[in-house]
Chains A and B, each alone.
Chain A
Amino acid sequence: MSSADRKSSSRKSAADEVFFKSWSNGLLLFYLTLVALILFFTARYAGIAGYTELLRDPDFRGALILSLETSTIATLLAVVVAVPGAYALSRYRFPGQNILDTILDLPIVLPPLIMGVCLLIFFSPAASPIGAFLKEHDLRVAYTRPAIVIAQFMVAGGFTIRCLKATFDSMTPRYEQVARTLGCSSSRAFFTVALPLAKGGIVAGAIMTWARAIGEFGPIIVFAGSISGYTLVLPTAIFLKMQVGDLEPMAAGTMVLVFIATVALLIFKRLGGRGYIW
């Protein structure tokens, strides 16, 4: 290869570099601008009146508090189930693992509304033995506050397991193996070695679960209803505002959710969480 050839090929690759960079960065910038503009116009549309009307509305304040409470409880439940579950998925190989894995993905990929319908059927006194049993003991689940937590837990739980499995996958199993060769039982190796190492990932996963739970809408409105002062949560309150044509408070409520999600994401990133979903 002559030096002239080399020059032209390096020039070509430099041109290619510039083109590729501006192309990929340009598209990214386009998308970012779009997101920013959408949020900006929504925030502006709400207007000062929208925000003040919203914050004065006792139904909305109640919905905000209930959202914070239920998504926190749902997250705690999800983490309790997901930590050992994700650990097992990550460390052990067993027959049918693929099928199990697929079932775990279902709550994540199915439209959340469908989960609400499934829960209504699952707890139906007319269509399910579990519902019939609960009714016999005069226990009601549908259209109650626990129904909100169940709906959030079911949808966000699969997501928590995915998040935490990624954490355990990224940790080498060698430390636990060493602990076991030194005489630790499997459970002791899990609690004293794996768990402390995974702490950051677990907290990050919990925050993402919480953000997901607080934004949950479809299964809640179907399974828990939207009763003001009882089962009305933030996303359903925003939806009802739209239903009655109160668009300014609706936009304001949307910005409250955006704010909560942003804070959660920032904490997530701060704790070293990565942008994976599963």
Chain B
Amino acid sequence: MSLTTLTKPWEAMSYGFLDGSAKRELRRKTLKSVAVPGCQMPYASREVPMARGWGTGGLQVSLTLVNPKTRVKVIDQGADDSVNAASIRRFIARVAGTPTTMDTLEADLIQSRHRIPEEILREDQILVLQVPNPEPLRPVQPNMSIARQMHADADYGRMWLQLYEQIVRSGRVMQGASYPSLVHGRHVMTPSPIPRWDVPKLNMSKHLTILSAGREKRIFAVPPYTRVEPLVFSDVPYKVEEHGHLTCYRSGTKGFFMNEIPQDDGTSTFEVSDSEWGVKAIRKGAGEPVTTGETWYKNGEMPE
């Protein structure tokens, strides 16, 4: 063994920014997290040139997965053009030379902050969700060692109690985003702060979902064809946001998750949250040839 066999040629920067050992660790942990759906696996979470809590977890997974042929789409709350999405997309393209897209159908890898696109993802697509707080038990058990023991014992009684108290106090479940969900009948996970509207999209989906929390250093995954059931009581059914009847004021599209825009006179108008879906609807209206994929929600309802 000599020094030349141990060293590698000099590079200005590793491909995809992360060095080899960071990538290998993430690969090992990603595989383990796929093997135990919904179970949070600790990982080292390396430094990336972005503040923790701004998508560093998702970014590290994306940087590990990409190669120069991977077409990357990045979403921030449904929008492709907000600051967080635009800067992450530009960063990935700059350090990995990947083509980028805004079209859900064209993307190979979709990194998302808090939304799942409205068009159904295919088998060959991977969804990477950024997770600010990966621990669903944190509101009921702040001690993370005890929370880990509770996950090990599948001891989720306090989660049910929390939901019960909300129903007693407010008449309905108040959890808006990151609705706790049981994965593969064993681990309760937070689906990241996606709205309730998006949680059913994870259930028995065709695509692989990887959820990564950079600040909290945990990674977990939902493989394809895996049960993801929101925690509900049998007599209080799961409810998604009542957006099925709303119409987007810009694109005219109807039956999708909307952003509410308050008006001066106290009323609200609504704009479709998945910005690319809105763009497609506008283009279609203008008579341009547009390919739209099948959507999860049809006429504002999720088919059983």
Asked if A and B are interacting partners, one says no
Residues on B facing A (Cβ under 8 Å): none
